[in-house]
Amino acid sequence: MAAAGTKDAYHHGDLRRAALDSAQERIDAGGAGSVTIRGIAAELGVTHTAIGHVFGSRNGLLTALAIEGYIELADRLSAAQTEGLLQVGLAYVRFGVERPAHFVVMFDTDLIEQTEEFQEASGHTWAILQAGVRGLESPEAMRAASSATVAAWSLMHGIVTLHNSGALSRAGVTDHADHENILAIAEQAGAMLFGSKS
């Protein structure tokens, strides 16, 4: 429960950030199903209508979290672009293991609303991934840029998903908590598919 005086702070614009942070923590701890407007409102010491006024609905809240994730992911991918597609892929993996709650909602169409803002944020990220293919040395990849983009995305996305779910750890492939190890695996796998140019 929020401390005395917290409600007043939210009237000055902090409620949106506090609700997003709470949703992120809840997803990290118990999955997206643990996020409810009433639960977050009770935690923050406000009414559920106050949060509803900001986000509209539970899906509106999760959509806002997804948009935030896409914006950060796009920034990370853009920063890695000059180093080549492999480094773009590794930036994707880093984001996925460091922001698991965002990663969960970003790709679950049952949780998000296809708003114009969401479409713009996700589309921008996709465009950066496509642009990375232009740096490939393989003529075959250049002729099939869309397929190459899907291959690169699928590889890195799959690695994050398997890591975050604990599947790699259960299979004895890697220690689930070792982010550096998963990045090394992603780098080796990416080099096998697209070469080691960085």
Question: What does the pLDDT look like over 69-89, one tens digit per residue?
Answer: 999 999 999 999 888 888 889
Cα gap 183→180, rounded to integer Å: 5
What are the pLDDT digits (tens) for 5-39?
Answer: 444 445 545 899 999 999 999 999 999 999 999 99
The per-residue pLDDT for 6 is: 44
Q: What pTM value is reported for the model?
A: 0.83
Cα gap 172→195, rounded to integer Å: 26
Q: Does the structure show a pLDDT above 90 at 120?
A: yes
